[in-house]
Structure 1
Amino acid sequence: MVDEPLYPIAILIDELKNEDIHLRLNSIRRLSTIARALGEERTRKELIPFLSENNDDDDEVLLAMAEELGAFIPYVGGVDYAYVLLPPLETLCTVDETIVREKAVESLCRIGSQMKEKDLVDWFIPLVKRLGADEWFTSRISACCLFHVAYPSAPEATRSELRSVYNHLCHDDLPMVRRSAASNLAKFAATVEPAHLKSDIMSFFKDLTQDDQDSLRLSAVEGCAALGKLLEPQDCIANILPVIVSFSQDKSWRVRFMVANQLYELCEAVGAEATRTELVPAYVRLLRDNEAEVRIAAAGKVTKFCRIISPQLATQQILPCVKDLAIDSSQHVRAALASVIMGMAPVLGKEVTIEQLLPTFLALLKDEFPDVRLSIMSKLDQVNQVIGIDLLSQSLLELAEDRHWRVRLAIIEYIPLLASQLGVEVFDDKLGSLCMQWLGDQVFSIREAAANNLKRLAEEFGPEWTCQHILPQVINMINNPHYLYRMTILHAISLLAPVVGGEVTCQTLLPVVINASKDRVPNIKFNVAKVLKSLIPTVDASVVDQTIRPTLQELNEDPDVDVRYFASEALKACDDTMST
């Protein structure tokens, strides 16, 4: 008979062999519980061998097992016994399902990084060699991901053997194996001695970059920047730079896309001088590529690229391409350019920006697609620092009435900064009426942003300006026939009250709110209760007791349950204020 404390554990172990996948999955996910109950020795001698021989063919169960075993070192007795976890994970590295293999590899790397050097030599390195020479391509794919863990601890003779095995994997008959070797080459290269890096690794790299499979060349591009950073500058220019230039003209648009996407990192690898002489022509080709996806990737890097090269070179070589991209047939290309174009302004300087970049910027501001206009809006502060707001104000005013609400919202977010730079007089003349107009917008998000905008403007220009220019118009709008707009005005009042102070609130704002408590719409009345609650800290206790409380008591007897709820909450706040 099973001991009583271990009986549930026995059930979990039995469930590992159950036909019901849910029971098996539940048991796998509780492997740590089973291991703690069995103890370290029985876990090593019974549980792990059982898992190694487990013939489960369900990917979900195998994935859970691969994940659990990665954190299993404490349950087998610590790092001294970490090697016992390798057999079941080695088996999982051979399965067909990619996600299971990837998780098994991840767990092996995690365990290998903690193992003692002797155990790595005795157990981990033989595992890598077995997987690398296995007849199943899935094993060889997994092996490529493990060399960077095995190599640093290997003796000199074994290191030579590991490099030889990796060489065979780089020239494997199956493209998917070669692709895995290409993807992991940079990680392996980081562990290899400098002499072998220049000879063996760069030889592997060169062969992979000339592969017929575009997916192989794609993986090779991803490793260019990482490999370049491992090499001396002159070796990087000799080995990496020609590959980048070649890939920028590759027949596969996906390879060219990857070059465009990683160009900044590649420039960092080869250095500023080589970038100016060799990569500028390559980048210009990518900016003018036939494929829109490549132009999108290249356009998104234009600011970063210009920062590496000289302003003169940027003006001569890159700026003409930028002007063409601003009228590109693809809206996505124009949007990608719009999101970064103003970053060029500090690089080019004020004169070139005003003469050549500003017209392009203004054209994008008026683009027919809202995504392009939104992208340009997100970077206004960069151009503002270079040319000032006066040159932009007219275009921004046109966008303030844009038909797309997201563009109007973006403008509202920018208004306080615009106001601070235009000054009170110019703001009143050009933008004051617009700020009030947004309070009556059909879109709730615009009305809400407009109310918050009034608060920020009030803080910028002060209470006196607010009382003179904002409050009269806000109060006048409380009589709007549509209750949704009246609710917006109540929200605006609650935001403005702390800015204008208690005296103005009592004299000007509070009577408006009290009057709104007689509104026929319940939504207005319970919002009145919320606003009155927010005004309590702003006004004197006598005003709370003589004016606010009676109104709330009246609302507390309203037929509508929501009105009564918010009125009672506000009354509690009154009581708390009076008690303190």
Structure 2
Amino acid sequence: MSSITKGMDDEDEVLLALAGELNAAFVEFLGGPSFLISYLSLLKTSAQQPNHLLKLLHFSQLSSLKSTLEWLGIYLNRFCISLDFAYPTVSDTTKDEMRRMYSALCADKKPMVQRAAAKESGVTQSWPLAKVLSQSHLITALIPVFRKLAADDQDLGRLLTVVVLIAIASSLPDKAVCKKQLGSTMKSMVSDQSWRVRYMIADHFAQLAESAGEDVVWEDLVRAFVHLLNNNEAEV
């Protein structure tokens, strides 16, 4: 393992050869799932390399591993960056697989995986996933996932969807579509039962208004802003 780790500092050709062997079969070679942490450390190193091809190969290895070790979901949150970084450069077939994998992460039974995936679609990344999807895929793939996350039972999960809401709204060029797809969720977030969610909305209100479009601002967000001003929580 130490020799392989040292090889990660080698030339691109060596790195590509190494990354190509870091698949599900390699986990069995190491000794099985109990040695998975060592494998993930290597895979994380390959994902951080500047070479774009390495990042794409890293994603494909994760995909194959996910199908072999279903319980891996708790670790995959570390590697979501492969999605938004690689997405614009791959084939349509691979894009379909990436969207399916992302949706699966957002639906994972473990909250920490869901929340890590949610962060990747928002504005916290240099290339947020919402920015690289077409409008049709935003509507069919990302927005349904966003709505489920926005309805999370725990306010910590709903907190993360505020920046996701802004990212999606700013990525929808047709603001009429934006209002249709996101209007009701915006309203529910403004009046969320958790003051932390309301605070997050208030803190990002200018960004939300800019992203949502003029019609939404005048018809919905002005009233929402007044509602926030009258909130009982001083922080809000």
Indicate the TM-score class for this superposition, using the shorter chain for normalisation: 0.7 to 0.9
Distance 1:228 1:108, change over 3 A: farther
Partner of 1:128: 62
Deviations 1:199-257 (A, max 9, x none): 11112112211221211111111211111111122222222332222101111111111
Task: Tell me the amino acid that sits aligned with residue 169 of structure 2.
Answer: G
How big is each residue's C-alpha offset from its partner over 1:93-118, in whole Å with a ceiling of 9 and x where there is no partner? x75xxxx98xx85x65542x5233xx
**Closer/same/farther in 2, CA of residues 139 and 130 from structure 1, 3 Å limit:** farther
Moved over 6 A (4+): none
TM-score normalised by structure 2 residue count:
0.77
CA distance, structure 2, for counterparts of residue 81 and residue 152 of structure 1:
25
**TM score, norm. by length of structure 1:** 0.34
Is 1:114–2:51 an aligned residue pair?
yes
Matching of residues 132-147 of structure 1 within 5 Å: 132=66, 134=69, 135-147=71-83
Q: Could you say which residue in structure 2 is the equivalent of 1:169? A: 105
Q: Shift of the alpha carbon at 1:140?
A: 2.2
- Contact 1:225–1:265 under 8 Å retained in 2: yes
Give the counterpart letter for 1:226 in structure 2: A
The alignment partner of 2:132 has SS state of coil
Distance 1:185 1:292 in 2: 30
In 2, are the aligned partners of 1:175 and 1:213 still within 8 Å (CA)?
A: no
What does residue range 358-437 of structure 1 map to in structure 2 within 5 Å? none
- Aligned partners of 2:155, 2:65: CA distance in 1, in Å? 26
Determine helix, strand or coil for the equivalent of 2:153.
Answer: coil
Aligned counterpart, 2:139: 198
* Pair 1:189 & 2:130 matched: yes
Secondary structure of the equivalent of 1:292? Answer: coil
Q: CA deviation at 1:171?
A: 0.8
- Describe the SS at the equivalent of 1:124: helix
Q: Give the aligned partner of residue 148 of structure 1.
A: 84
Counterpart amino acid of residue 62 in structure 2 = V
Cα offset, 1:50, TM superposition: 5.2
Q: Which residue of 1 aligns with 2:16?
A: 83
Describe how 1:186-265 pairs up with structure 2 within 5 A.
186=122, 187-232=128-173, 233-265=175-207
For residue 198 of structure 2, what is the amino acid of its counterpart?
A: R
Q: Deviations over 1:412-463 (max 9, x none)?
A: xxxxxxxxxxxxxxxxxxxxxxxxxxxxxxxxxxxxxxxxxxxxxxxxxxxx
Q: Deviations over 1:303-343 (max 9, x none)?
A: xxxxxxxxxxxxxxxxxxxxxxxxxxxxxxxxxxxxxxxxx
Instruction: Quote the offset at 1:149 in angstroms.
Output: 2.3
1:131 Cα deviation from its structure 2 partner: 5.9
Q: Which runs of 5+ in 1 are unaligned?
A: 1-45, 53-68, 295-580
Query: How do 1:7-46 residues align onto structure 2 when only pairs under 5 Å count?
Result: none
Equivalent residues, number: 214
8 A contact 2:74–2:112 mirrored in 1: no
- Aligned equivalent of 1:281: 223
Which secondary structure does the structure 1 equivalent of 2:162 belong to? helix
Q: Post-superposition shift, 1:125?
A: 2.5
Q: How many angstroms apart in 2 are the aligned matches of 1:157 and 1:137?
A: 22
Aligned to 1:49: 4
- Residues 47 and 55, structure 2, Cα contact 8 Å, conserved in 1: no
What amino acid is the match of 1:124? H
Query: What letter is aligned with 1:170?
Result: C
CA drift of 1:85 comes to 6.4
SS in 2 for 1:125: helix
Label 1:50 to 1:224 Cα distance change in 2 as closer, same or farther (>3 A).
closer
Inter-partner Cα distance in structure 2 for 1:261 and 1:109: 33
Assess, with a 3 A threshold, how the Cα gap between structure 1 residues 130 and 217 changes in structure 2: closer, same or farther.
farther
What is residue 293 of structure 1 aligned with on the other side? 235
| Whole-Å separation in 2 of the counterparts to 1:230 and 1:132 | 29
Query: Separation in 2 of the partners of 1:207 and 1:153?
Result: 28
**Relative contact order (C-alpha < 8 Å, sep 6+): which is higher?**
2
For the Cα contact (< 8 Å) 2:146–2:161, is it kept in 1? Answer: yes
- Structure with greater Cα Rg: 1
Q: Is the 8 A contact 2:199 2:235 kept in 1?
A: yes
Partner of 1:259, secondary structure, is helix
Cα RMSD of the aligned pairs, angstroms, is 3.1
> Does the aligned pair in 1 maintain the 2:151–2:158 contact within 8 Å?
yes
The letter of the residue matching 2:149 is: L
Compute the displacement of 1:145 (Å): 3.0
